[in-house]
Amino acid sequence: MTILRELLRDGRFKFAFIILCVLVSLAILSFFSPYDMSKWNVVPRDMPPSMEHILGTNSKGQDVFWEMTFAIRNSLLLAVIAAAFSRIIAVIVGLVAGFKGGSTDRLLMSLNDSFIVIPVLPILILLGSILKERLSIFSLGLVLALFGWAWDARVIRSQILSLREREFTYTAILSGEKTLELIRKEYIPFIIPIIFATAINNMFWAVGMEVTLAILGLSNLTIPTLGTMLYWAINYQAMLLGYWWWVATPVIVSVFLFVALYLLSVSISEYLDPRTRIQRIGISEGVK
């Protein structure tokens, strides 16, 4: 809670935090939807915003507001799945490579560098064209996690290489402390901030990739996400027909989500930076 209070002093973090709270609230609201988003033509089609349908309806005969709540929920869930599983891979690879060193480090970093240099988008397009209808939110999250860990594993490895050369590591080894205990007690607390900071960047990337695949028609279009909302709006030529509310809703929500994740990443990274932390301490002492 102390860390949260310090972060909330940053206007960028506060703004991003408020936006995410609103988006999460809308996602939770989807569980109380009066409509089944798997069904079409449940409301009058192409109705502009009104008291009955506050964001209007689309050409599929669905309420845009309630479709938006489902889209936010699924997009956030996808981002969390991708970030969580990619963190697991990144932490394991980074810890083992940094701590073991030698041939193990070289082998893992060769694998790591391979995932860094491969063209991710063409591979995802190929997978999307093959799997498409079989891609659920969970399976797409796992696919994105498989390609989203490499950069962060290298960051974690560099931190472990630094920690391995510190005196407390030699002391723990000489005292007979087991490797897993050393990692759990001494190393994990140092890399937890890195894990959280990189997870936000990974969520940003995962949502962007899902939107890209959906607009190209290479994801499961029956699942409401921010990307599939845009796909159907483009497919039905909503802008040309003047159904601006159908296009504007996913675009505005996506922009707010991307801005919130970006600001969270920047503010948390600056908070974790030792140089800015020293500046904050100096400022607070000057105020006292």
pLDDT in tens, 34-59: 988 888 989 999 899 999 899 999 99
- What pLDDT was estimated at residue 275? 53
Token pair recorded at residue 181: 């205990």
CATH of the domain at 198: 1.10.3720.10
- What pLDDT was estimated at residue 130? 85
Could you give the 3-state DSSP secondary structure of residue 54?
A: coil
- pTM reported for the whole predicted model: 0.85
Token pair recorded at residue 162: 């630094």
Answer whether residue 78 is part of any domain.
yes
Confidence band for 189, pLDDT divided at 50, 70 and 90: confident
Query: Three-state SS string across 206-221, please?
Result: HHHHHHHHHHCCCCCC
pLDDT in tens, 224-278: 999 999 999 999 988 888 899 999 999 999 999 999 998 888 887 777 665 555 4
Answer whether residue 16 is part of any domain.
no
- What pLDDT was estimated at residue 265? 83
- What pLDDT was estimated at residue 276? 52
Count of the separate structural domains present in the chain:
1
Cα angle at 95 between 93 and 97, to 5 degrees? 65
- Range(s) of the domain holding residue 143: 28-287
Token pair recorded at residue 103: 């041939």
Answer whether residue 2 is part of any domain.
no
Residue 61 phi, psi (nearest 5): 75, 40
- What pLDDT was estimated at residue 283? 46
Mean pLDDT of 191-212: 88
Answer whether residue 218 is part of any domain.
yes
pLDDT value at 217 more than 80? yes
Answer whether residue 20 is part of any domain.
no
Least confident of 10-14, 84-88, 221-225, 281-285: 281-285
State how far the Cα of 43 lies from the Cα of 267, in Å rounded to an integer: 43
What do you get for the CA distance between the two ends of the chain, in Å? 22
Answer whether residue 76 is part of any domain.
yes
203 with 261: CB under 8 angstroms?
yes
pLDDT value at 282 more than 70? no
3-state helix, strand, coil in the chain (%, to 5): 75, 0, 25
Answer whether residue 15 is part of any domain.
no
Cα angle at 64 between 60 and 68, to 5 degrees? 120
Answer whether residue 86 is part of any domain.
yes
